[in-house]
Amino acid sequence: MSAVIIARHARTPAERFKDAAWVAFVALLLGIPMVGLTTVDQGGALTVQTRFGMLGAFVGVSFVGRFIFRWIIDQFRNRRAAKAAVAKVDRTPQVIKLIGWVVLGASVTMPIMFSDNRYVIDTATTVLIYVMLGWGLNVVVGLAGLLDLGYVAFYAVGAYTYALLFSHFGWTFWEALPVAGAMAATFGILLGYPILRLRGDYLAIVTLGFGEIIRVILVNWTELSNGPNGIGSIPRPTLFGLPFDRNPAEGTQTFATFFGIEFSGMHRIIFLYYLILVLALLTNVFVSRLRKLPVGRAWEALREDEIACKAMGMNVTNVKLSAFAIGAMLGGFAGVFFAARQGFISPESFTFTESATILAIVVLGGMGSQMGVVLAALVLVLLPELGRNFAEYRMLLFGTAMVLIMVWKPSGLLSSREPTIRLNKAAATGGQP
C-alpha cells in the first residue's frame, strides 16, 4: 500500500462545519431505515412506526459529536507533532514491567480488600479466565502468527472433558485437569495436522468452521453431551481434598471445619479466584519460558518469515503443530476451570462470539505482548460490565470498542515488543570493541 503524506493545514471553521454536516447527512441516510422507521407487530400483522424524533436526535448527536471529535483530534495532533520534535528515550518496556508488578500485587491483595463483595471477585475471576485464554491464544496468534478463529473449541473440549469424566467416572477437578489438557492438545493436533499448510486467512476460516463443528456436534449429539440442555451439577474444585460445602459429608471435613472457622459462602469464591490466578500465572511463566527455548524462537521466526524458516531447514509443520497443541492445551485447562466454576455447561457458552472476544483480547492488547492481554481483558470484560445498568447496550458497546481501539491503535494497546534475544555489544560488532 502506498504511503501518501498529506500536508495538513489548520482547518477553518467553515471546513469543520462542512465536514460535520457531511457526517450528519450520512447518519441521516443510515438512520432512516434503522432508527427512523421500525416495524411492530400489531394484531398479528406488522405495521410501520415512525420515530422521527429519535432520528433527529441521532443526526444531531452525529453532527455535534463529529464537530467536537474532529476538533479534539486536531488539537491532539498538533500537540503530538510538537512533542515528536523533542527526542526522547523510549522507556516503555521498563514502565510495562513496573505496571506488571503493580497489577500482580493488586490482584493478589484484591480479595482481601473486597472479601465481602461477591460481585467484584466474580468479575475479577471472569477477567482472569479471559487473561488465561488470551495468554493461551497468544501462543498461537501472537507468537506463531497463526490466525485461529475457533479457539473456543478447545475451551469447550476442556470443559466437556471434565464434565463427562465426572458424570461417567466420578473424576474430580484435579484428576480431570491434566487429562482435559491432553485431550484439548490432541484435538489441536488432529485439527492442525491437515490444515496447517494453509495461508493465513484460509486458516482463519477453517478454524472458525472447526469451532462451529464442535458446537453443532455438542448441540446435536444428545447421547454424549445432553444437547442444548447441557451438563449440570459439576463439582467445584477442592483444596487438597477439602471441599467448600456448608455441611460436611459423613466422616469428611470441609475447609471450614478443618481450619475451625465459621462457614462462609465467600470462601469458595475467593478460593476460585486464587485458583484461576495461580493457573493464569503458571500459564504466563510457562509461555514466557517457552519463548526463550528453541521452539519459542522458532515460533517467532515462523511468524516473521515462513519461507526463510523453510530455507533454514526448519520443520515448519512440527513447529506450527507444537504451537497449536500448546495453545489448545492451555485453552483446555481454562475450560476445566470454567466448568468447575460454573457448575453447569452447555453449548451456549462456546459460541463464535467467545472466540472473537478472546482473539480481540490478544489483538487489542498488542500481539505477543503478555501485559497487553491483561489490559485488553480488563477493558473488554469491564466495559460491558459497566454497561450492565443498561444491559441491552452491552454488546453494542463491545463491538464499538473493538472498532474504535483498532482504528485508534492498529497494533494494539501495548505494541512495543521485546526483542527475543539481545546481542551484547561485543557480539554485535563481531568481537571487536
Partner 1 sequence: MAYALQQLINGLTLGAVYGLIAIGYTMVYGIIGMINFAHGDIFMVSAFIAVTAFTLLAAFDITSLPLAITAVLITAIFFTSAYGWAVERMAYRPLRGSTRLAPLISAIGMSIFLQNMVQLTQGARVKPIPPVLEGGIEIWQSGGFTVQISWTQIMIVLITIVLMVAFTYLITQTAFGRQQRACEQDSTMTALLGINVDRTISATFMLGAALAAVAGVMVTVYYGVVDFFIGFVAGIKAFTAAVLGGIGSLPGAMLGGLIIGLIEAFWAAYLSPEYKDVATFAILILVLMFRPSGLLGRPEVEKV
CA distance 129 to 133: 6
CB nearer to partner 1: pick between 303 and 341: 303
Q: Which of 227, 217, 238, 96 is nearest to 175 (CA)?
A: 238
Question: Do the beta carbons of residue 367 and residue 187 sit within 8 Å?
Answer: no
Give the three cell numbers for residue 187. 484435538
Q: Which of 193, 147, 134, 143 is nearest to 296 (CA)?
A: 143
φ, ψ at 61 (rounded to 5°): -65, -40
CB nearer to partner 1: pick between 78 and 353: 353
Name the residues that contact partner 1, by CB under 8 A.
1-3, 26, 29-30, 32-35, 37-41, 45-48, 141, 147, 194-195, 197-202, 204-206, 208-210, 212-213, 216-217, 219-220, 307-308, 352-353, 356, 359-360, 363-364, 367, 392-393, 395-396, 398-403, 406-407, 410-411
Which residue type occupies 214?
I
Question: Do the beta carbons of residue 100 and residue 371 sit within 8 Å?
Answer: yes
DSSP, res 242:
B
CA distance 138 to 316: 19
CA distance 84 to 421: 28
Is residue 164 exposed (0-12), middle (13-18) or buried (19+ Cβ within 10 Å)?
A: buried
CB of residue 149 to partner 1, shortest distance in Å: 9
CB of residue 270 to partner 1, shortest distance in Å: 33
CB nearer to partner 1: pick between 105 and 200: 200
CA distance 151 to 158: 11
CA distance 146 to 139: 9
CB of residue 87 to partner 1, shortest distance in Å: 25
SS3 call for 92: helix
List of residues 6+ apart from 77 with CB closer than 8 A: 8
CB nearer to partner 1: pick between 179 and 406: 406
CB of residue 206 to partner 1, shortest distance in Å: 6
Question: Do the beta carbons of residue 136 and residue 330 sit within 8 Å?
Answer: yes
CB nearer to partner 1: pick between 17 and 202: 202
CA distance 123 to 35: 33
Question: Do the beta carbons of residue 160 and residue 176 sit within 8 Å?
Answer: no
DSSP, res 420:
S
Question: Do the beta carbons of residue 413 and residue 402 sit within 8 Å?
Answer: no
CB nearer to partner 1: pick between 270 and 321: 321
CB nearer to partner 1: pick between 269 and 363: 363
List of residues 6+ apart from 264 with CB closer than 8 A: 256
Give the three cell numbers for residue 121. 471477585
CB nearer to partner 1: pick between 32 and 293: 32
CB nearer to partner 1: pick between 289 and 409: 409
CB nearer to partner 1: pick between 170 and 194: 194
